Amino acid sequence: MNNLTKAGLFLSFLLWSGSISLSAGENPSQMKELQVKKVSVDATVKADAVPALLDKQRVAFQPINVVNWESFPYSPEVSFRIAYTDKAILLHYKVKEGSVRGKYGVDNEPVYTDSCVEFFLSPAGDNIYYNFECNCVGTILLGGGAPGNRDGATPEVMQLVDRWASLGRVPFEERVGEAEWEVALVIQFDTFYKHQITSLDGKTIRANFYKCGDELAVPHFLSWNPITAKRPNFHLPEFFGTVLFE
């Protein structure tokens, strides 16, 4: 059985089981807003402590469920929650999907082809944005700059992002069958290597949150805020929603 046949059968199963939504169910013209809570901590938070900390602070999950392209209708269950401290942004993702892959284990490899969650943001009101892309084993890809003039982060910058992955950090090929996984990130403000961000208190920024899996048995491309583009593309700051830091 070739890969195309396997993908077709898997897609048919997902349609039958109700795991696929054939429409986005969103009005793309409605940009979302999200309030981000500040949490007080005595020391630098480690990524493996983020889920319990956000539970304690009662930070709610937000769905990533907008299907923007009809040719990629599969919609796994994905949610995220976000908070911040004096020094960092805290992110926690939960995913339930029909297959999972964490092939890449070296930072700045193409993790978007794996089971991947992403956070794009423009933190300073200019045309510079950053893309944080993290696969299910905590490997990240990070770039920054203006559209058409971007570069990748150095290894020193990448080390400023602490990661935790519920599936562990060892890479693996695709496992077909229902899987649940989580990742958490602690993104220090110094990670924004094209800016000098010392505080987010009271700031309003633009951002979007994503889930993708370009090379999975059933590729998919979900977003938090809707995108009206002809083909899958997350590098579109004009479709970032509004994120307000308290």
Predicted TM-score of the model (pTM): 0.88
- What is the tens place of the pLDDT at every residue in 213-222? 999 999 999 9
- What is the tens place of the pLDDT at every residue in 74-97? 999 999 999 999 999 999 999 999
What pLDDT does 42 receive? 79
Closest CA to 223 of 53, 74, 68: 68
Amino acid, res. 195: H
As given in the structure block, the two tokens for residue 244 are 């307000």
Task: Tell me phi and psi for residue 20, to 5 degrees.
Answer: -110, 135
Tokens 């920024």 belong to 205
What pLDDT does 6 receive? 41
> What SS3 class is residue 48?
helix
- What is the tens place of the pLDDT at every residue in 99-138? 999 999 999 999 999 999 999 999 998 999 999 999 999 9
- How many Cα atoms sit within 13 Å of 209 on the Cβ side? 20
